[in-house]
Structure 1
């Protein structure tokens, strides 16, 4: 399976995003996500869909003793090794849906905007439950179900090309969506709030916080219209 991010043209577009150029401070959710992260000191951390490795590096900087970053994209892993290397970080090219580690391998599992690329949320949570120690932390972000429901990732516009309404049709119909991301057709998978919450509960997680961050005023002024709604959700949970 090839990652869309290994397509040179698509990857070049991604490289121009603020989160790619500025790291964590360029990510619209970072001001809220940082507050939801647990204490990394002395912990073993797994980052599923690590991208450029910004979160891996943050964990290492904050005292993690071992950090493992996994991403399907060869180009992402190359960038992570170049930009965010550390003696305690190891990066691996692998489909996050296929990862396998021994029981109790990690104290913390994090994932940023990756799980909505997976058709099955249940199976990844089952894996995380196996990897994670009792009392371990899971923090992840996904596309907000309101954002992903219709699937196009854009507003309805009026004749003046002004945003008119955000479509939420087909909210309860989960599954494949063909979204427009960086002017490219990308396959994503819509899941409802109920699926995220009930699946975490099913596997014994206690949800400690849910956030729908909006970009800071500084970042919002340069954001396209599609980013001016809560387009992602962050969950923190404890096993």
Structure 2
């Protein structure tokens, strides 16, 4: 069984209280930038890797996608997704991202939001996604930025009064597992350099069309004061690629 913290009751309850869990896509700081990377969705067959509550799945159907398959390892996440979905064109499957095995050309678009930094072999996932896409199909993904994942502490350097002085970056070139604390629980994330993400996609047969390191929009900053420090260092890396 791959790492599945979201079926831990205590972790799931804390995650359920986060703004992006209660407010959906509009409460996700990176959503405007992610949405801008998406191609026209009308008539597309969409795969969502790490679909969670199904927010992106439902958005795709709102934009007239033909069908959506949402994959997630957490039964609790999928249960919540099914509760909030009344659409026969959306199918949720309990499956680890690492274990996907779809037919060639089964999808026109694959997306993944903040899930692939939990996967040890990103290169293997890229090859499987490439296989499952039609020629010209797009792969749009977001991960925690390597500047954010380099150190397991994932925290600021503080001054004597507790002020946030700067964000330390060390061990950036040392790729691999990081045991981090997220929502007061130990979670394993996998740190990769920006080059490692890019080269895994290129080596799998993708061409890159866009990179994005978004900041919160003024509207998000006005609504969520805690996002103010997200303008000081990147927290998300977004990549858009297309199958050659």
> What TM-score do the two structures reach when normalised by structure 1?
0.96
Structure 2 counterpart of 1:206: 207
Q: 1:32 offset after TM fit, Å?
A: 1.1
Q: 1:31 offset after TM fit, Å?
A: 1.3
1:94-153 CA deviation, whole Å, 9 max, x = no partner? 111011111111000000001100111110001001101110000000010111111221
- 1:169-184 equivalences under 5 Å are 169-184=170-185
Structure 2 counterpart of 1:222: 225
Corresponding position: 1:136 with 2:158 = no
Moved more, 92-101 or 81-90: 81-90
Corresponding position: 1:108 with 2:122 = no
In 2, Cα distance between equivalents of 1:160 and 1:84: 47
Does the 8 Å CA contact 2:216/2:227 hold for their aligned counterparts?
no
Corresponding position: 1:41 with 2:46 = no
SS at match of 2:226: coil
SS at match of 1:223: helix
| Count of matched residue pairs | 239
In 2, Cα distance between equivalents of 1:227 and 1:84: 32
Does the 8 Å CA contact 2:46/2:69 hold for their aligned counterparts?
yes
Structure 1 counterpart of 2:7: 6
In 1, Cα distance between equivalents of 2:6 and 2:107: 27
SS at match of 2:70: strand
Structure 2 counterpart of 1:166: 167
In 1, Cα distance between equivalents of 2:74 and 2:228: 28
Does the 8 Å CA contact 1:104/1:130 hold for their aligned counterparts?
yes
> What TM-score do the two structures reach when normalised by structure 2?
0.94
SS at match of 2:40: coil
SS at match of 2:98: helix
Q: 1:226 offset after TM fit, Å?
A: 6.5
Does the 8 Å CA contact 2:141/2:240 hold for their aligned counterparts?
yes
SS at match of 2:103: coil
Structure 1 unaligned runs (5+)? none
Structure 2 unaligned runs (5+)? none
1:154-193 CA deviation, whole Å, 9 max, x = no partner? 1111121111221111000000001121122211000001
SS at match of 1:172: coil
Does the 8 Å CA contact 1:47/1:109 hold for their aligned counterparts?
yes
- 1:4-83 equivalences under 5 Å are 4-83=5-84
Moved more, 154-163 or 20-29: 154-163
Structure 1 counterpart of 2:240: 236
Does the 8 Å CA contact 1:47/1:68 hold for their aligned counterparts?
yes
In 1, Cα distance between equivalents of 2:162 and 2:32: 31
SS at match of 2:112: strand
In structure 2, the CA distance between the partners of 1:224 and 1:10, relative to structure 1 (3 Å rule), is: farther
RMSD: 1.3
In 2, Cα distance between equivalents of 1:218 and 1:41: 28
Q: 1:85 offset after TM fit, Å?
A: 3.5
